[in-house]
Structure 1
Amino acid sequence: MRKNFTAVLLAGALAGTLALAACGGDDSGTGGSDDANTLNIVGYSVLEQANAGVISAFQDTDAGKGIEFKESYGASGDQARAVIAGQDADEVHLSLEPDVQKLVDEGLVADDWKDNDTKGICTQSVVVMVVRTGNPKNIKTWDDLIKPGIGIVTPNPASSGSAKWNLLAAYGSVLGEGGSEEDAQAYLQKFFANVAALPDSGRDATTAFTSGTGDVLLSYENEAILAKQSGTDFDYIVPDSTLLIQNPCAIVDGASAKAQDFMDFQKSEEGQKLYAATGYRPLMDVGDLDVDGANDPTNPFPEPATLLTIDDDFNGWADANTKYFDENDGIITKIQAEAGE
C-alpha cells in the first residue's frame, strides 16, 4: 500500500518555519554548541524545507528527545567556507563532495568520513529541466537548450554545488551519446551563450526562474517537486540522459554525540521516506510511495534511459572538480569565462 506524505510535508513545513527562528547560532567557533542538547546543522540551500520534517520526526524518537536544532542554509561552497571561518557546525550536509573535502583538508572533518554504508551520502536526486507551464518552447532534450531564443537559468559554479551537477549533466549528455571531449566543450559554448542568469545558489535560481527569468531552469528533481508541492506553477522534465546527484553529510570534529544519532536517523528507512516526501530519491528501497508534486505521484522517480554518475563517468569528484572547475584551468571555468558569464 502506498503512503501519501502530504500531511507529513505540511507538518514539516511548520516545523521548518519554527526552526528558522533558531538559525544562525552563536560565534563560538566550529565544532558545535557548548550545549550537548543543541545540534548545529549547516546545509546547502535546497535542503532547508526537506530537513524540517526529518528534524521534527527525529525529535519524536528516544534519541532525539530534548534536542534543539540551530540551522544554517546557503550556497554549498559558501557554507563550507563559513564553517572553515568558524561557524558552529555539528553536521554538514552539503551539495557535493569537494565542499566536504575542503573541511577534511582543514582538519575539521575526519579523513574516513565516507567509510560507512552510504559512502557518506545522505540524500540523492537527479538533474531535471524546469519549464514554463505547458512547455511553450517545447524543451525536451539537451539539444533543445542550445536553440536560438532559449534562455537558461542555472546557478553559478563559483558558489553553488548544484551548478556543478547541472553543468556536468549537460557536458555528460554529449559524452554519453559517444561524443568527444571537444564535442562536449563545443556544446557548452553554445549552452553558455544562452544563459540568462547565474544566481548564487540553487534556491536563488528557482526564485529567479519563477520571477520570470529565462525559459528553462536546470535544477534538482527534488527542488522541482517541492516547489510544485508549495503551489508553484511550472512543469519539469527528466531528460533521457541525466546525472545522479549525491549529497554528502559528515560529522564535524568536536560535534555533540547526538550528531551521529541524527545522521543515523537521516539515513534510516524512516528518514529516507521523509526525504522522499519532498522529492529526494531514497538511498534504499522504501516501498511504494505517493509523492505529491511529482509528474506521476504513484511513480515519482522514473529511471532515465541514461543515468550518469560522477564515479563511473567523470572519474570521481577529486578528478572532476579539478578538471572541469579549477578556478584557473578548469575546462568549464574557461568556457564560462570566455562567454562573459
Structure 2
Amino acid sequence: MKKPILLSAISAILLVGLTACGGGNTTASGGDQKPATSTPAATAAKPPIELLNVSYDPTRELYEEYNKAFAKYWEGKANQKVTVKQSHGGSGSQGRSVIDGIQADVVTLALAYDIDAIQEKGLINADWQKRLKDNSSPYTSTIVFLVKKGNPKGIKDWNDLIKTGVSVITPNPKTSGGARWNYLAAWGYALKHNNNDENAAKDFVAKLFKNVPVLDSGARGSTTTFVERGIGDVLLAWENEAFLSLKEFGPDKFEIVVPSLSILAEPPVTVVDKVADKKGSREVAQAYLEYLYSEEGQEIAAKNFYRPRLESVAKKHEKQFPKIELLSIDKDFGGWQKAQKTHFADGGTFDQIYKPSK
C-alpha cells in the first residue's frame, strides 16, 4: 500500500456520499473490469448491475481489491457487468445505518451481533448465519498491539496496559466492532489471571480504559490517531490493521506486539434479503459472498492480512500469522447476544466502568 491508509480507498476509486443516517464513506469499483474469459456469442449480455457492500472500518483495502476480482469473474461467468460500491465505518454504526434505510445488498460487518440487530428489524432472514460455511465468516482475524519502534514503554502483554503512564488507543465499544473484540480480549485475559473473578476483571478493564485518552468511533479512526497524529503509546488493533500500518509506514516506525492471549474474531457476511429481493440483486449478491470462499477470494484476504479459511491458502500463508492462544466468543462469553447485553448495552459493564477523561 503506497498511499496513506486513510486515503487509499478514496484515491483508488470514486467516492460516493451516502445521505442516510450513520452511513460511512462509500466508494465504487469493479464496473470497468474486462471479463475473465470470452463470453460465448450465444449468451446474451445481461443488464449491468450495482451492489452496495456496507462494511466495517478496516476492510477498505480488502474489498477494493476483491471487488475488481469478483467483477472480472462474474462478467466471465454470467456475461454481466457488476459495480460494487463500498461503505465503511464503525461496525455498530454501519449496522444501524442499514436499519435506518441504507440500501445495502450485502453487509460484511465485524461481528455477528451487528447483523443480528439488522435481522431483528426484519431485513435479513433468521437463518442468515447458516447460509454460508464457517458461520458465514469467510476469514478471521484477532487483536494485537501496535507500538512505536523500539517499544519504548516495554509493552509485552495486557497487564502492561494498566500501568501508570501508559496511553492506550482503542475505539469506542458502543460504535466499533473492533473495540468490542479489544474489550473482550482484555476481559478474558483478566479472568484467566484472576481465577475467573468477575470483579477483578471489571477492575482490570476499568484501569485499562482509564488510560485511554480518546475514543474514536471506528478502528480506522483509532489507527489514524496513533500512527498519524502520534497520540498514545500502544494501539489495540485488528491484526490486519497492524500489518497495514507496518506496510504503509515501515518497520522502522512501528512494530507489532503479540499478547499471550487474544480472541478469535470472526467477521460475518450476509445478503440483506429485503433489499436484494426488492432490487432484484439476490443472485449476484449471493455469488459475491460465495466467491469470498474461492481460492482467489481467500488469496486476496490473506494478501490483505486476514486469516484465510481455505486450508490450502492458510497453509501457504501460515508463516505470516503468529500462533496465539485465542478466546472464543461462544465458549468463553456465551455468544454475542449475551456479551452485548452484559458489557455493551446501555447500563452494561462498559457504561459502569468508563469515565471519560476531563
The DSSP-based 3-state class of the residue aligned with 1:236 is strand
Which residue of structure 2 aligns with residue 93 of structure 1? 108
The 3-state SS of whatever aligns with 2:268 is strand
Equivalent residue for 1:207, pick from 199, 224, 236: 224
Q: Which amino acid aligns with 1:186?
A: D
1:308-323 equivalent positions in 2, closer than 5 A: 308-323=327-342
The separation in 1 between residues aligned to 2:341 and 2:62, in whole angstroms, is 30
Task: Quote the residue 1:3 is aligned against.
Answer: none
> Conserved in 1, the CA contact under 8 Å of 2:213 and 2:357?
no
Which deviates the most, 144-153 or 170-179? 170-179
1:239 and 2:259 equivalent?
Answer: yes
Aligned match for 2:71, one of 59, 66, 72: 59
**Match of residue 138 from structure 1:** 154
| Paired position in structure 1 for 2:269 | 249
- The amino acid across from 1:199 in the alignment is D
Contact kept, 8 Å, 2:210 with 2:354, in 1: the verdict is no
1:118 pairs with one of 130, 134, 137: 134
> Is 138-147 or 222-231 further displaced after alignment?
222-231
**Match of residue 99 from structure 2:** 84
Counterpart amino acid of residue 243 in structure 1? I
1: distance between equivalents of 2:8 and 2:87? Answer: 15
Q: Is 2:16 the counterpart of 1:23?
A: yes
Q: Point out the structure with the larger helix share.
A: 2
Separation in structure 1 between the aligned mates of residue 315 and residue 332 of structure 2, nearest angstrom: 30
CA separation of 1:169 and 1:287: change in aligned 2, threshold 3 A: closer
**Cα deviation code 1:161-197 (max 9, x no counterpart):** 1110000000101223334111111111211221122
**Partner residue, 1:295:** none
Distance 1:24 1:111, change over 3 A: farther
- Name the counterpart of 2:244: 226
Matched letter for residue 190 of structure 1:
K
Amino acid at match of 1:90: D
The answer on whether the counterparts of 2:264 and 2:328 sit within 8 Å (CA) in structure 1 is: yes
- Give, in angstroms, the shift of residue 22 of structure 1: 5.0
Please say if 1:274 is aligned against 2:300. Answer: yes
Q: Aligned pair 1:180/2:192, yes or no?
A: no
Gaps spanning 5+ residues in structure 2: where? 24-46
- Report the secondary structure of 2:319's partner residue: coil
Q: Return the offset for 1:63.
A: 4.1
- Rounded to whole Å, the distance in 2 between the matches of 1:331 and 1:63 is 50
Q: CA RMSD in A?
A: 2.5
Corresponding residue for residue 43 of structure 2: none
Deviations 1:113-162 (A, max 9, x none): 01132212133101101101111111001111111100000000111111
Structure 2 contact 308–314 (Cα < 8 Å) conserved: no
What secondary structure does 2:142 align onto? strand
Q: Does 1:324 align with 2:336?
A: no
Per the TM alignment, residue 20 of structure 1 is displaced from its structure 2 partner at its CA by 3.8
Q: Using the TM superposition, give the Cα deviation of residue 23 of structure 1 relative to its aligned residue in structure 2, in angstroms.
A: 3.5
Residue in structure 1 matched with residue 28 of structure 2 by the alignment: none
Mapped pair 1:197 → 2:197: no
Q: Count residues in correspondence.
A: 316
Counterpart pick for 2:164 among 148, 151, 168:
148
- Local SS of the residue matching 1:230: helix
**Secondary structure of the structure 1 residue equivalent to 2:263:** strand
Residue 40 of structure 1 aligns with an amino acid whose one-letter code is L
Residue in 1 that maps onto 2:178: 162
Residue in 1 that maps onto 2:286: 260
Q: 1:36 Cα shift?
A: 6.0
Contact 1:152 1:215 (8 Å CA) reproduced: yes
**Which runs of 4 or more aligned residues in structure 1 lie more than 6 Å from their structure 2 counterparts after TM superposition?**
none
Task: Tell me, in whole angstroms, the C-alpha distance in 2 between the residues paired with 1:216 and 1:14.
Answer: 23
Q: TM-score, normalized by length of structure 2?
A: 0.82
SS in 2 for 1:54: helix
Provide, for residues 84-109 of structure 1, a one-character-per-residue CA deviation record: whole Å limited to 9, x for no partner. 11112100011111111111011111
Change (3 A) 1:91 1:24: farther
**Larger of the two Rg values belongs to structure:** 2
Higher relative contact order (CA 8 A, sep 6+): 1
Q: One-letter code of the match for 1:99? A: D
* Closer, same or farther: CA 67–246 of 1 in aligned 2, 3 Å: same
Structure 1 spans left out of the alignment, 5+ residues: 1-5, 291-297
State the Cα distance separating 1:314 from its structure 2 match. Answer: 0.4
If the length of structure 1 is used for normalisation, what is the TM-score?
A: 0.86
Q: Name which of 31, 39, 60 aligns with 2:51.
A: 39
Give the equivalent residue in structure 2 for 1:127: 143
Question: In terms of mean alpha carbon deviation, does 251-260 or 228-237 score higher?
Answer: 228-237
The percentage of aligned residue pairs carrying the same residue is: 36
Query: In structure 2, how many angstroms separate the alpha carbons of the residues matched to 1:332 and 1:127?
Result: 19
